[in-house]
A and B are shown apart, each in its own frame.
Chain A
């Protein structure tokens, strides 16, 4: 019954929620990096980069990815086309 109910009401299963929450918690536990610290770092990085090339800050993606237990800071920073600077 509760199964049906949750499916119709569109509620996520509690285990799915546990998994999503754990994913985030573990990233921060492993890197010692809170989400605000990550945002601050992003801002600083963008500052430095835009001293050299022009970028569109809204298109920048900086995320922590994992490969097994290895954490990786991945930055995708599209450059503005030369002519449009």
Chain B
């Protein structure tokens, strides 16, 4: 077994990197995969709260790198899933406590024991971002359908290209289909045309994301959430399944539910 190392990054802050990392990691674990997710946002730790594991932290990423503990001691096991672990970021240190080669070394040490290493990147294009992508075999870029998020995503795509990480794939997050219909939000096709990269999934704007984050229970675990379903689909596409983009990734929840009731949906 050799883990695939996937980094989720964005350029612009607040577009959903941590949410996506948590949900994709849980979705992969639900599919029976062995997963470790790493929060590389040093000083702005968040993956722990999104996963609901904040009370179980003893050691963190910087403790591992500086040799205060073994990697296994810093891995928090999520008891709700068979094989899901978190390595939390340090909260009281800065990005310079970690170097790109530290990240490569750390991933090398654990990659034979897992199917997936999923790394949550900080915003920006500086040291923290460089650390986050250093070990990656694949980079997923996440954006929102707005001008600044798309512009920043384009910068990141350019950087990833020059790092020769292989082609990055795109997650479009927080798509509001009502606004798209009114012509007040960029459509997924517009974004793809502008950025000219492959899509791996579209996640609709869904208030369940916020509710589930409130209680530390990622939205993929919610049967009825369309954002949850979208994250599941992304995880399955990462595993190589050919899952078509289905209606629910484009339409809003109410329409989708109606179409299911009347059985007229495209699913």
Could you list which residues of chain A lie within 8 angstroms of chain B, going by C-beta atoms?
2-3, 6, 13-16, 18-19, 21-23, 25-26, 29-30, 66, 68-69
Contact = CB atoms under 8 A, between A and B. Distances in A.
Interface string B165-195: 0000000000000001011111100100010
A25 B151 contact: yes
Given A25-B151, A69-B161, A2 B182 contact: yes
A29 B154 contact: yes
A20 B185 CA distance: 13
B146 to A, nearest CB: 8
Nearest to A16: B183
A2 B157 CA distance: 36
Contacts of B147: 18, 21-22, 25
B255 interface: no
B186 A26 contact: no
Which residue, of B146, B151, B183, B186, has the highest number of chain A Cβ atoms within 10 A? Answer: B183
Interface of B: 146-147, 150-151, 154-155, 157-158, 161, 180, 182-187, 190, 194, 196-197
Contacts of A3: 182-183
B157 A15 contact: no
Is chain B's binding surface mostly helix, strand, loop or mixed?
helix
Nearest to B180: A15
B183 A22 contact: no
A29 to B, nearest CB: 6
Nearest to B182: A3
Contact of A15 (B158, B161, B184): B184
Contact of A26 (B182, B185, B194): B194
B161 to A, nearest CB: 7
B182 to A, nearest CB: 6
A66 B193 CA distance: 11
A23 B147 CA distance: 10
A22 B150 CA distance: 8
A26 B151 contact: yes
Which residue, of A22, A25, A68, has the highest number of chain B Cβ atoms within 10 A? Answer: A22
B151 A19 contact: no
Contact of A69 (B150, B151, B157): B157
Given A18-B147, A29-B154, A23 B194 contact: yes
